[in-house]
């Protein structure tokens, strides 16, 4: 995928995005492959991010909630997820999880609402990685598997996204999105690139995911058929962009390789509160 296609791809995927959304630096948050030296590109300041392409050991990024180290916390939050569609993504659901374990409801107060959302995001990423590592799947199939795990939470997904996009939570949420994009690029695209396409593929995957999720929470069609069709079109567009079969809308320069996923996520959060 050529660099200038990134901006057009997100714009076409969700055409109501204002073009200025594309000016923020999302790609700079990825850690570039070590074999790739940037030339004629202004220096980037990536976040600490563990990638399949650069570091295969370890799965938990700095500051991620490592629920695997505490089975009891994982059990409590897993049970809390069973209540989010009726109680919301809040302490009521967390306390219900504690009660199901015959624990004091006060135990639930040690967690924040974002702990529950972050647990959900990380758990889904880990399950996706486990699935793709043992099953051959293309990008469309990987996305469908992912959204198949999200749709059961669609009735209250707007609340989760609003929590995830609060200023104090946005960095962790973007890190989860980075991880998701990297998992799909590594397994579904079999990506071993060491050039700029390493960035653009992940930006494309992230834009598909965010645009489809935004579509999902507004979808009123039966069994979310409109969302499935939307996802299919976006994946097809992504393939067309990779093959260079669509003309870019602008002759972008390297500094504009980014897509504004930070702003896009904030737009999602604002839409949820309406």
Q: The CATH number of the domain where 20 resides is what?
A: 1.10.357
225 burial type by CB count under 10 A (0-12 exposed, 13-18 middle, 19+ buried): exposed
Average pLDDT over residues 163-190: 93
User: At residue 9, does pLDDT exceed 60?
Assistant: no
| CA neighbor of 183 nearest in space, from 161, 200, 165, 205 | 205
User: At residue 185, does pLDDT exceed 50?
Assistant: yes
238 belongs to a structural domain: yes
At residue 79 the predicted structure's pLDDT band, cuts being 50, 70 and 90, is very high
259 belongs to a structural domain: yes
Q: How far apart are CA 154 and CA 131, in angstroms?
A: 22
pLDDT of residue 203: 87
Average pLDDT over residues 114-127: 96
The total number of structural domains in the chain stands at 1
Is the pTM higher than 0.75? The answer reads no
| CA neighbor of 175 nearest in space, from 33, 22, 29, 6 | 29
47 belongs to a structural domain: no
Average pLDDT over residues 182-210: 87
100 belongs to a structural domain: yes
pLDDT of residue 50: 39
267 belongs to a structural domain: yes
Range of the domain at 135: 5-38+61-272
119 belongs to a structural domain: yes
At residue 238 the predicted structure's pLDDT band, cuts being 50, 70 and 90, is confident
190 belongs to a structural domain: yes
50 belongs to a structural domain: no
């Amino acid at each position: 995928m050529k660099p200038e296609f990134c901006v057009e791809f997100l714009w076409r995927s969700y055409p109501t995005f204002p073009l200025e959304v594309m000016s923020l630096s999302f790609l700079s948050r990825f850690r570039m492959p070590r074999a790739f030296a940037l030339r004629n590109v202004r220096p980037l300041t990536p976040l600490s991010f563990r990638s399949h392409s650069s570091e295969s050991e370890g799965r938990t990024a700095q500051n991620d909630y490592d629920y695997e180290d505490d089975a009891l916390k994982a059990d409590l939050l897993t049970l809390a997820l069973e209540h989010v569609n009726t109680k919301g993504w809040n302490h009521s659901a967390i306390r219900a999880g504690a009660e199901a374990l015959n624990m004091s409801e006060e135990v639930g107060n040690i967690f924040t609402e974002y702990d529950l959302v972050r647990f959900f995001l990380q758990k889904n990423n880990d399950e996706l990685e486990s699935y793709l590592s043992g099953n051959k799947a293309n990008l469309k199939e990987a996305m469908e598997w992912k959204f198949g795990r999200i749709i059961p939470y669609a009735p209250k997904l707007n609340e989760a996204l609003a929590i995830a996009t609060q200023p104090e939570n946005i960095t962790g949420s973007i890190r989860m999105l980075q991880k998701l994009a990297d998992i799909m690029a590594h397994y579904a695209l079999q990506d071993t690139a060491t050039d700029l396409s390493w960035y653009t593929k992940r930006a494309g995957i992230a834009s598909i995911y965010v645009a489809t999720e935004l579509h999902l929470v507004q979808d009123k069609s039966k069994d979310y058929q409109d969302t499935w069709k939307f996802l299919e079109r976006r994946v097809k567009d992504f393939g067309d962009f990779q093959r260079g079969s669509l003309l870019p809308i602008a002759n972008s320069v390297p500094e504009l390789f980014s897509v504004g996923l930070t702003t896009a996520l904030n737009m999602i959060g604002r839409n949820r509160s309406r």
